[in-house]
């Protein structure tokens, strides 16, 4: 993959999808349907997925594409592919809480190499540049022209006073039990893949996820975190979280800055 070609395309598609999502988000009302796995889906998910999928297939016709909203793509096999969650945090979207994102990533040899996370309601955009460095862009988010960007890096963590971020919609006792193993200075709650980005910017030190996720939920945020000097490991044995797994389902995991002294499960 030519990253100089990839990054402008995924950034542009994320911004354009975000604009479609916000049209529906700002409407007086929108329909919510339920998928076969009991998760919600809206017209915003579908519009964003159609736009991103068409753009990626046109730009990279020879690269396997996996996207949450197209069940037929979930039978694809391989460890190198583009992966999309067109609207991560649908529950946050439905409840108009703003913590939802557009996620697009490129996985090679099971590792998310590059990605973009765009939170249109929060006016925050994170992506990996062609050289792999993660940045946050500010400004007007023009699809054609990159605005001001700032390199982001994980925190120089203090294990006596850690900042922890956890899920807003999926917080449970098992998560709290694990967090209580650390010396926590402050807790944040966030939805969607923004949690990876808060670790990437140094706004949090560690994000444990003791719950079900899919690869399209995590790949773009994982790529951004890697580009900021962080890492994501399995919860059970602290080995790297890999992609291209059967059914694209993730085990529990921990996203963290490298100075955090991880606790056993």
Contacts of 188 (CB under 8 A, 6+ apart): 163, 164, 165, 166, 198, 203, 204
Asked if residue 36 has pLDDT above 70, the reply is no
pLDDT tier at 171, thresholds 50, 70, 90: confident
Q: Identify the DSSP state of 108.
A: E
C-alpha to C-alpha distances, 137 to 15, 118, 124, nearest whole angstrom: 12, 10, 7
> pLDDT-derived band of residue 169, with 50, 70 and 90 as boundaries?
low
Return the domain boundaries, the chain.
Answer: 3-151, 162-256
pLDDT one-digit tens code per residue, 110-130: 999 999 999 999 999 999 999
Least confident interval from 112-121, 122-131, 142-151, 162-171: 162-171
What is the rounded distance in angstroms from the CA atom of residue 224 to the CA atom of residue 202? 12
The predicted model scores a pTM of 0.95
CATH number of 3-151: 3.30.540.10
For the domain spanning 162-256, the CATH number is 3.40.190.80
Q: What stretch of H or E contains 105?
A: strand 101-108
157 backbone dihedrals φ, ψ, rounded to 5°? -65, 145
């Amino acid at each position: 993959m030519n990253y100089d070609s990839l990054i402008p395309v995924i950034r542009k598609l994320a911004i354009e999808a975000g604009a479609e999502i916000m049209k529906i988000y700002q409407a007086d009302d929108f329909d919510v349907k339920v998928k076969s796995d009991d998760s919600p889906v809206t017209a915003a998910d579908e519009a964003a997925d159609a736009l991103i999928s068409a753009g990626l297939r046109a730009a990279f016709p020879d690269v396997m594409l996996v996207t949450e909203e197209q069940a037929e793509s979930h039978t694809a096999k391989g460890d190198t592919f583009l992966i999309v969650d067109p609207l991560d945090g649908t529950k946050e979207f439905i409840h108009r809480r703003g913590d939802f994102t557009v996620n697009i990533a490129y996985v090679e040899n099971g590792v998310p190499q590059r990605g973009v996370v765009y939170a249109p309601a929060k006016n925050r955009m994170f992506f990996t540049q062609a050289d792999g460095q993660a940045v946050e862009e500010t400004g007007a988010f023009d699809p054609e022209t990159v605005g001001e960007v700032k390199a982001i890096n994980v925190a120089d963590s203090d294990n006596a006073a850690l900042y922890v971020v956890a899920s807003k919609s999926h917080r449970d006792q098992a998560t709290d039990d694990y967090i209580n193993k650390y010396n926590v200075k402050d807790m944040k709650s966030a939805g969607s893949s923004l949690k990876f980005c808060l670790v990437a910017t140094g706004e949090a030190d560690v994000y444990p996820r003791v719950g079900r996720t899919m690869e399209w939920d995590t790949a773009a945020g994982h790529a951004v975190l890697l580009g900021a000097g962080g890492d994501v490991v399995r919860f059970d044995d602290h080995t790297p979280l890999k992609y291209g797994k059967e059914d694209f389902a993730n085990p529990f995991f921990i996203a963290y800055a490298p100075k955090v002294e991880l606790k056993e499960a």
